[in-house]
């Protein structure tokens, strides 16, 4: 029943949004179309609306949700304060998005807010990269996480409660093995800029070695090329994400590479020495990896 | 002229807000009264308003501001995305709040949003502290920053453009030497909880030694007591905040203390080994200290 509703919602979403986004620059997510560039929606956002450009769409689709989509004022932590606590690493080791925040997170992710927040992070990263004094010896690398950094799993989360349901390895891995995760266009803008500057991308991901082939195919399909390494977790690895990623960055350094930058959506992507000369945290209110 | 307007605004603000907050729990700021507990305002916030509970007050006071208070959609980075980039340490080394964000930051600080965001951080800190296995040997300490952590300089910033003007040492120091900075009540809730748990507070601040007496007086006046040390910068110190604070935490450790927690509003309060066993970042969109 829940799945049926979710599917119906997505179909409706596509239908509704498709009608309002005919101009270029829309953010396509394999079936989901992000209306960030839709002029009519943008005009609405300019009317001093802090909430999302696509919010009216989701609201219209979910008339039965009742009070679940407010800021959570009555039911506990307000959802916007919860999100800030997550993004600042004050809130840790959480397992699911609070149920009352499903609509809030949905609005955030599908509307313009997530994209806007991502854009500002990437603008900072690009400005930082452009300001570097580079040796240009091919040893300068930038570490990219994959999920919610290079590629987006939003199509999965949009039909699975926007993080409000416990992690389900079976369905999530099925999504990964479909190889259809869309690009995060802001990250790709940074990626391409770095290559043009002579900084070499390295992917470092919590995905496992048995997902290498599909991950390469997915990255290529979404327009990524020219990376030096794709570092995945061994299938049997059971340490922490922060431990795995720190160790891999250490190996890069020991091999003579200089990590000039490091970007991810989780704090476990960017904490733990050696972090890289500078780190960037992309937004992700969908899940936590410690 | 600008000062006159700012003063007039504050007077009006006090007048307007005072009329709407007669119930207990309002957050008083030496003349500024925070309407976070005002029922009428809270009811408005519950109507799915992401923006601030006091926003209508400020809007009414600033009819001549024109477009300066929107999300900055037209003029550059949207102010909410700018704030998130600041809070996540993606945006660094900034000198002033973007001019177009003055009203946005004012709304954030004076309305309920800042208080709500702070409350969530403190809730996490209290839960963490309550979950600690403590030795109870008097050696377990918690490091507190002062400005925008233990005490608030919002009265100063509210009459000086909410961070949009370059730092002015003369007027800011005059404010500090007045010794009237109000308590940040959420922080004080943590402070008192820690004492009840047997964890000893230590203040570590960028304020200078020549401000020790007034700082002690201000802290006591606002209800703080029972700290073990108040560590201030030597008057002639010209290193970085992160260097000074890391060194002082190292000295604490070398003296046998265990830093079980560390809280501040700046990333320079909580980065740099030894950070403390766990760190907490309070919101501060007013200024940056590197």
What residues contact residue B112 under an 8 Å CB cut-off, 6+ apart?
B34, B35, B36, B41, B42, B45, B52, B53, B54
pLDDT of residue A75: 60
pLDDT tens for residues A131-186? 999 999 999 999 999 999 999 999 999 999 999 999 999 999 999 999 999 999 99
Q: Does residue B207 have a pLDDT over 80?
A: yes
A96-116 pLDDT, tens digit each: 999 999 999 999 999 999 999
Q: Is the dihedral of CA A182, A186, A190, A193 positive or negative?
A: positive
**CA gyration radius for chain B?**
19
* Residue B60 to residue B56: CA distance in whole angstroms: 6
> Averaged over B161-182, what is the pLDDT?
98
Q: Do A87 and B85 touch (CB under 8 A)?
A: no
Q: What distances in angstroms separate CA B251 from CA A137, A182, A273, B49, one per listed residue?
A: 41, 49, 22, 47
pLDDT surpassing 70 at residue A61: no
DSSP states of A36-86: GG-HHHHHHHHTT--S-TTHHHHHHH-TT-GGGGS-STTTSS-HHHHHHHH
- Indicate yes or no: CB of B77 within 8 angstroms of CB of A120: yes
**Tell me, what DSSP letter sits at residue A193?**
H
- Amino acid B76: pLDDT: 81
Contacts of B42 in chain A (CB under 8 A): 73
Q: Say if B84 is an interface residue toward chain A (CB within 8 Å).
A: yes
Q: Is residue A287 part of a domain?
A: no
Bridge partners of residue B281, in order along the sequence: B264
The answer to whether residue A245 sits within a structural domain is yes
Question: CA B38, CA B21: separation in Å to the nearest integer?
Answer: 5
Three-state SS across chain B?
CHHHHHHHHHHHHHHHHHCCCCCCCCEEECCEEEHHHCHHHHHHHHCCCCCCCCHHHHHHHCCCCHHHHCCCCCCCCCHHHHHHHHHCCCCCCCCCCCHHHHHHHHHHHHCHHHHHHHHHHHHHHHHHHHCCCCCCCCCEEEEECCECCCECCHHHHHCCHHHCCCCCHHHHHHHHHHCCCCECHHHHHHHHHHHHHCCEEEEEEEEEHHHHHHHHHHHHHCCCCCCCEEEEECCCCCCCHHHHHHHHHHHHHHCCCEEEEEEECCHHHHCCCCCCCCEEECCCCCCCCC
- Do the bridges between strand B200-208 and strand A258-264 make them parallel or antiparallel, or are there none, so unpaired? unpaired
Q: Chain A, 16-45: which have a CB under 8 Å from a chain B CB?
A: 42, 45
CB contact under 8 A, A46 and B117: no
Q: Per-residue pLDDT tens for B27-84?
A: 444 444 433 333 333 333 333 233 333 333 333 233 222 233 344 445 689 999 999 9
As a whole number, mean pLDDT of residues B150-179 equals 98
Whether A186 is covered by a domain: the verdict is yes
Q: Per the structure block, which two tokens stand in for B31?
A: 């003349």
User: For residue B52, what pLDDT is reported?
Assistant: 33
pLDDT averaged over chain B?
82
User: In chain B, which residues have their Cβ closer than 8 Å to the Cβ of A116?
Assistant: 78, 80-81
Classify the complex by whether its ipTM is higher than 0.90, answering yes or no.
no
Q: B78 in a domain, yes or no?
A: yes
Please report whether residue B286 resides in a domain: no
Q: If you average pLDDT over residues B184-197, what whole number do you get? A: 98
pLDDT at A93 over 90: yes
Helices B79-87 and A112-130 cross at an angle (nearest 10°) of: 60
Q: Is residue B288 part of a domain?
A: no
Residue of higher predicted confidence among B89 and B42: B89
Where residue B134 falls among pLDDT bands split at 50, 70, 90? very high
- Does A289 map to a domain? no
Residue A167 sits at the chain B interface (C-beta within 8 Å): no
The shortest CB-CB distance from A77 to any of B73, B92, B120 is to B120
Contact B50 A84 (CB under 8 A): no
Mapped onto helix, strand or coil, the DSSP state of residue A165 is: coil
Q: pLDDT-based confidence at A12, cuts 50/70/90?
A: very low
- Model pLDDT for residues B218-259, shown as the tens digit of each residue: 999 999 999 999 999 999 999 999 999 999 999 999 999 999
Q: Residue A143 sits in which domain range?
A: 2-281
Kindly tell me if the per-residue pLDDT of A35 is higher than 90: no
How far apart are alpha carbons B41 and B19 in whole angstroms? 12
Q: Which residues in chain A are closer than 8 Å to B283, comparing Cβ atoms?
A: 84
SS3 A207: strand
Residue A283, SS3? Answer: coil
Residue A198 lies inside a defined structural domain of this protein: yes
What is the total count of domains within chain B?
A: 1
Band (pLDDT 50/70/90 cuts) for residue A76 is confident
Instruction: Please give the residue that has the higher pLDDT: either B82 or B21.
Output: B82
Q: Any idea what the CATH number is for the domain that residue B184 is in?
A: 3.40.50.1000
């Amino acid at each position: 029943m829940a799945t049926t509703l979710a599917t119906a919602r997505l179909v409706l979403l596509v239908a509704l949004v498709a009608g309002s986004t005919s101009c270029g620059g829309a953010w396509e997510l394999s079936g989901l179309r992000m209306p960030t560039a839709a002029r009519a929606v943008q005009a609405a956002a300019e009317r001093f609306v802090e909430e999302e450009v696509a919010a009216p769409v989701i609201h219209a689709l979910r008339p039965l949700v009742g009070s679940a989509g407010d800021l959570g004022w009555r039911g506990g932590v307000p959802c916007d304060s919860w999100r800030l606590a997550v993004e600042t690493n004050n809130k840790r080791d959480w397992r699911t998005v609070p149920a009352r925040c499903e609509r809030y997170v949905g609005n955030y992710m599908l509307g313009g807010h997530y994209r806007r927040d991502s854009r500002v992070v990437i603008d900072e990263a690009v400005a930082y990269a452009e300001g570097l004094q580079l040796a240009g010896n091919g040893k300068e690398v930038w570490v990219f996480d994959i999920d919610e950094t290079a590629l987006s799993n939003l199509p999965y989360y949009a039909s699975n409660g926007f993080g409000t349901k416990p992690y389900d390895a079976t369905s999530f891995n099925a999504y990964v093995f479909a190889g259809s995760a869309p690009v995060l266009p802001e990250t790709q803008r940074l990626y391409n800029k770095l290559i043009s500057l002579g900084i070499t991308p390295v992917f470092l991901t919590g995905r496992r070695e048995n997902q290498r082939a599909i991950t390469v195919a997915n990255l290529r399909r979404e327009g990524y090329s020219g990376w030096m390494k794709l570092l995945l977790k061994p299938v049997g690895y059971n340490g922490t994400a922060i431990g795995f990623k720190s160790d891999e960055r250490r190996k890069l350094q020991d091999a003579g590479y200089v990590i000039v930058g490091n970007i991810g959506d989780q704090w476990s992507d960017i904490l733990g020495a050696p972090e890289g000369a500078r780190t960037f945290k992309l937004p992700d209110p969908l899940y936590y990896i410690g």
